[in-house]
Structure 1
C-alpha cells in the first residue's frame, strides 16, 4: 500500500538523485529522475547496463508527449489515446528535454504512461518523468514481484515500493514512429493486432533496426539454466534426449503437455496472455531448482504469444562471455 508518507519519501528520493524500484503493470522498474544525468547513470551502474542502451521515460499522462518529443505524429497521438496508460512505448524524435543519458546518444526518445496506480501516483507527484528499465541485472530475467527485486538488487536501491505482482508480466510493446511508417521494434504486453486495429494498417515487427531500444539484444531475459526451445509436439523427445546426456532438465509449458512424472515442470497457461503473465516467475522458479537445461514450449505466434516467443528466443540465444 502506498501511504502518503511513502509517496513523499519516493518523490524526495527521486528529486535528490536517488534510485527507487517501483511496480508497473509490465515488470518492476528501476527508476531515476529522467532529467538528472547522474541519477540515470547510477541506474546503468546498478544494472550493469551498457551506457549506449537507451532507457524508456515513463510519464504520468499523454499530454506530456510534446515536452519530451519535438515532433508527435498523428498516429502516435491515436495510439496514446487508445492504449495509455498501458504497455505501449512510443519512439519519437527527442526534444531538448531528453538527455543523451536517457537516449543512448540517439536522436530519439522512448516514452510511455504505465498502467499502475503506484507508478502513476509517483509520476504525478514528481511532476516529471522517470527513466525506468527493469529492476534486475542486465540481461537476466525481469522482476514481476517486489521480492524478485530484493533478491536481484538488495540494498543497492534506495527505496522499493511493493505494488504486488505485475498483471501483464512482460515488458511493453515498443513502436517506432520517429520517421516514416510505424514499426514494432519489440513485441510486448500489447498485441500487434491491437495496434494495427487502431491504425488501420499493417505494422511490421522489426526486431533488427537502426534505432536502438530496450530489450533488443540477441541474448536477454536469460535464466541461469540453458534454454532449449521446442514446439508442443517436440517437447517430450527433447527432454528424453537431454536426459540421456545426463542433464538435469525441467519443462516450461502448459499443463496439457504429456511428460514422465519425474520431470519437473513449470506450468504456464495455454492462452498467450496467461503465459506472458507467469513467464518470468516460472523462469525464476526453475532457476531455484538448479536445472542444467529448461525445455521451453513455444506458444502460438499470435497476440501476446509473439512477445512470449520473443523473450524465450532471447533467453535461448548464445550468451556473451561471462554471462
Structure 2
C-alpha cells in the first residue's frame, strides 16, 4: 500500500529533538522510519512489535528466514533483549557504539525479528541521529538496510527515496553515511567467535580481544548478508581482481561497446581511456572505496547495461569490500 513519505532533514551532529520526535512517534505507532547510521541507512520499526516488523519484510521484499539486526541506544537496552556472555561483554566494552553487530542468545525479541532463531543480532550505532531516534522511540529498533532486497545499500536519503518512496512513513535525511558498508557481524555464541559478515571492524581488530575466525557454515543465516544475493545492480556486473585493471577493463568495455551496450568502469584513481565509456572513481584508498562503493554502483546502474568494477586484496576493510562484490556480480582473476 502506497503512503505519503515525509522527509525530515536534520543536523547529523546536533539532531533536533523536535524533528526526531516526529519520527519516533511513527515508530511508536508501528510505522516505518528510514534513518541514517554510520554504516548505511536503515529501515526501522519497533523490534518488539510483530506487526511493525512484518512491514519491513513486506516493503523490502525480504525473505522471512533472513534475520534483522536490532539497534539499541544503551548498554542497559542490550540486557533487556539479549543474554551477553563474557566474550560478548568484552566486545561491547571495546566496540560499542560502533559498526559491530553481535549475535547473542535471545531474551525477548519476537521470532519474526530473529527469523525464528534462538539468537538475536544486536548493535549500538555510532550515529547521533540513530541513537536519538532509538532513545525517543523508547524501544529497540529492528533495521535492515533501507533498500529493496538484493539491491545496493543506501548511503544517502535520496537512495532510500529511489527504492522505497511512498512505502515508508518517514525518511530522516542526515546526509551521507560515513562508512558506507554494513556492520561487521560476529557470532558470540560459538568459540572461537565467528565473523558472519565482514565490515569496517576487521578481523585483526577483533583479534586484539578474542579468538576469531570467519564462518564457513552458511546453511542457517544467523545474520543478514549470509544467504541471499545482495548488493547487486540491475546491470551486469563484472569484478576484475589483479594487476593492470584499467587496461583489462578497457579491453572488455570496448567489446561490449561494439555490441551496443552502455558500459561503466569503476575503480580507484582511474583515468578516462575512452569517450564512449563512463568512468567513476571510488576514491584514493580502500576506506574511500568502502564509503563510495554503493553510491557509485547506484550511479552507474542508472546509465549502464554493464559495469566493470575493480576488485581489491582481501585484507582489512578490503575483505568487506570483496564480500559485497562477490554478491554483486561475477568475479574474475586477471
TM above 0.5, one fold?
A: yes
Give 2:124's match in structure 1, choosing from 107, 110, 113.
Answer: 113
Moved more, 241-250 or 31-40: 241-250
- For 2:156 and 2:213, locate their aligned partners in 1 and report how far apart those are by CA, in whole Å: 32
For the structure 1 residues 207 and 237, does the alpha-carbon distance in structure 2 shift closer, same or farther, using more than 3 Å as the test?
Answer: farther
Give 1:190's match in structure 2, choosing from 197, 201, 204.
Answer: 201
For residues 92-171 of structure 1, the aligned pairs below 5 Å read 92-95=104-107, 97-171=108-182
For the pair 1:85 / 2:93, whether they are aligned, the reply is no
For the structure 1 residues 207 and 117, does the alpha-carbon distance in structure 2 shift closer, same or farther, using more than 3 Å as the test?
Answer: farther
How many residues align? The count is 314
Residue equivalent to 1:274: 288
Q: Secondary structure at the match of 1:208?
A: coil
Residue equivalent to 1:321: none
Q: Secondary structure at the match of 2:214?
A: coil
Residue equivalent to 2:255: 244
- For 1:138 and 1:98, locate their aligned partners in 2 and report how far apart those are by CA, in whole Å: 22
- For 1:269 and 1:41, locate their aligned partners in 2 and report how far apart those are by CA, in whole Å: 38
Q: Secondary structure at the match of 1:60?
A: coil
Moved more, 21-30 or 253-262: 253-262
Shift of 1:22: 0.6
- For 1:311 and 1:152, locate their aligned partners in 2 and report how far apart those are by CA, in whole Å: 19
Q: Secondary structure at the match of 1:198?
A: coil
Which has a greater percent of strand?
2
For residues 236-315 of structure 1, the aligned pairs below 5 Å read 236-245=247-256, 246=259, 247-256=261-270, 259-260=273-274, 262-289=276-303, 291-315=304-328
Q: Secondary structure at the match of 1:65?
A: helix
- For 1:270 and 1:193, locate their aligned partners in 2 and report how far apart those are by CA, in whole Å: 22
Shift of 1:218: 4.5
- For 1:314 and 1:38, locate their aligned partners in 2 and report how far apart those are by CA, in whole Å: 30
Give 1:41's match in structure 2, choosing from 51, 54, 57.
Answer: 54
Shift of 1:29: 0.5
For the pair 1:20 / 2:33, whether they are aligned, the reply is yes
TM-score by length of 2: 0.89
Shift of 1:126: 2.1
Moved more, 234-243 or 19-28: 234-243
C-alpha RMSD of the superposition: 1.9
Give 1:226's match in structure 2, choosing from 222, 233, 236.
Answer: 236
Q: Secondary structure at the match of 1:142?
A: coil
Gaps of 5+ in 1: 319-323
State whether residues 170 and 189 of structure 1, in contact with CA within 8 Å, keep that contact through their aligned partners in structure 2: yes
For the structure 1 residues 169 and 92, does the alpha-carbon distance in structure 2 shift closer, same or farther, using more than 3 Å as the test?
Answer: same
State whether residues 186 and 206 of structure 1, in contact with CA within 8 Å, keep that contact through their aligned partners in structure 2: no
Q: Secondary structure at the match of 1:212?
A: coil
Q: Residue by residue, what CA displacement relative to the aligned partner does 1:22-70 show, whole Å, maximum 9, x if unpaired? A: 100000001000011000000111101011111000000223222212x
